Structure 1
Amino acid sequence: MEEEVPGPPPVTQLLAGLARLGQAVRMEAWRNAGPHNLSPLQADIVTLLAAERAPLRQGDIVAALASTPPTVSDAVKVLRKKELLDAVRDPGDARVVLLTLSPAGAEEAARLDVVSENLGGAVAALSPDDFAAMMRGTVTLMRELQDRKAIPVSQMCVTCRFFVPDAHPAETGRPHHCNFVDAPFGDTELRVTCPDHETVTG
């Protein structure tokens, strides 16, 4: 009988590792507060609005960031005070406010889009195979958690009608196909969020 390795089981170890990585990303967000001294949530809202091609309701932001209405409302008020957000009434419903980035907000979004040296350097240390494996694993976990309604739905390749998995020989290194751009791509190029995403129906 093989002797068991001491310590918590593998699943617990993996989840602990993911938690540590999450902490590292959040700590970098605090360090990257920038000239507007943004909290991580405020930065997330700016980044989310930058990725969208249409104005969002506050409720859309709550759902996308898995936050609460009061928390998002407070963050939006601060961002508007900092003149990073513009708000207009929905032409279809005057009771609803639509949020977009102001020019200053767009500048801040561009600054936030630059990957930190710490996180970028850590990811760069991965071999191409390890990077691809992490992307596959991340997408698989996210999809499973979405199916369990444990996290908000993300605009991933694997839930997009334009995604065709394993459409090309594996040995090419780019086995998947995106019908939106009509091009093959590999696991390293899998998207967990994409502005061109259209959910599979039926």
Structure 2
Amino acid sequence: MKHSSFNLDVQNQQIEHKIVVALERISAAFRVLLWNESKENSLSPIQIQILIFIHFHSLEKCKVGYLADEFNMTKATISDSVKVLLAKDLVSKISDASDARSYSIVLTPEGEKIAKKASLFTSSIEQPLEKLAEEQKTVMLDGLLKLIYDLNKSGVITIQRMCFTCAYYKSDAGIHYCNLLNKKLAETEIRVDCPDHKVIS
């Protein structure tokens, strides 16, 4: 029989349940920080996330369909958010020359300004992480990457641009290697979001 991680008797006996609850607390911190940033700009949290994503990712990824998969939302929900951003003149559309119905979304100068500032909303979480020893950071990163990878395989998380899901990546006897960079990768060099990620066919 499955037991809830929020059951204190169970939680205090098993480390896995403590980790789940700890991750939930951190998730709550992200929501609070993102909500504060969105209120400051009179936008919704997802609208802020869209601006930040567009700011740091290539044009082909900045389409409604890709954004819907990225944020695990429907195309209709993303389209509604994009309409608001268009109305506020924070983004504009670039039509696809090969498909008149398809378009990419780009930031306007004002959108760029908001996205740049908003992208720093995680600084309150980064500060305590900076105080950890390098070994602690490495162990934490390794555990989180494996957790994300397993959640991706089980369908809980959709799009991932991490090394473990990339066609260029290979692992042999615990050694990480990137065929694109032609080099071994240290644990700390494993990427969570790689601009050169190639989906495994």
Q: TM-score range, shorter-chain basis?
A: 0.7 to 0.9
1:90-129 alignment runs, 5 A limit: 90-114=96-120, 116-129=122-135
Q: Deviations over 1:53-97 (max 9, x none)?
A: 224321111111101223212211111122121113322222233
Contact 1:160 1:199 in 2 (8 A): yes
- Give me the identity figure in percent: 27
1:136-151 alignment runs, 5 A limit: 136-151=142-157
Contact 1:36 1:82 in 2 (8 A): no
AA of the residue aligned to 1:53: S
> Cα RMSD (Å) of the superposition?
2.5
Of 158, 167, 175, the match for 1:152: 158
Contact 2:37 2:121 in 1 (8 A): no
Q: How far, CA to CA, are the matches of 1:114 and 1:179 in structure 2?
A: 32
Q: How far, CA to CA, are the matches of 1:138 and 1:80 in structure 2?
A: 36
Which residue pairs with 1:21 in the alignment?
26
* TM-score, structure 2 as length reference: 0.81
AA of the residue aligned to 2:33: E
Q: Report the Cα offset of residue 114 of structure 1.
A: 2.7
AA of the residue aligned to 1:13: K
Q: How far, CA to CA, are the matches of 1:180 and 1:106 in structure 2?
A: 31
Q: How far, CA to CA, are the matches of 2:67 and 2:112 in structure 1?
A: 17
Which residue pairs with 2:45 in the alignment?
40
Which residue pairs with 1:194 in the alignment?
194
Contact 1:46 1:101 in 2 (8 A): yes
Which residue pairs with 1:130 in the alignment?
136
Q: Report the Cα offset of residue 34 of structure 1.
A: 7.4
Contact 1:164 1:177 in 2 (8 A): yes
Q: Report the Cα offset of residue 119 of structure 1.
A: 1.0
Q: How far, CA to CA, are the matches of 1:98 and 1:27 in structure 2?
A: 29
SS, match of residue 154 in structure 1: coil
| Aligned: 1:70 with 2:76 | yes
* TM-score, structure 1 as length reference: 0.81
Q: Report the Cα offset of residue 136 of structure 1.
A: 0.9
Contact 2:142 2:187 in 1 (8 A): yes
Which stretch of structure 1 is more off in the superposition, 110-119 or 24-33? 110-119
SS, match of residue 191 in structure 1: coil
Aligned residues: 191
Q: Report the Cα offset of residue 18 of structure 1.
A: 0.8
Q: How far, CA to CA, are the matches of 2:138 and 2:70 in structure 1?
A: 26
Mark the CA change 1:50 to 1:57 in structure 2 (over 3 Å): closer, same or farther: same
Q: Report the Cα offset of residue 22 of structure 1.
A: 0.6
Mark the CA change 1:35 to 1:180 in structure 2 (over 3 Å): closer, same or farther: farther
Q: How far, CA to CA, are the matches of 1:98 and 1:107 in structure 2?
A: 19
Contact 1:51 1:195 in 2 (8 A): no
Contact 1:176 1:184 in 2 (8 A): yes
Q: Structure 1 regions of 5+ residues with no counterpart?
A: none
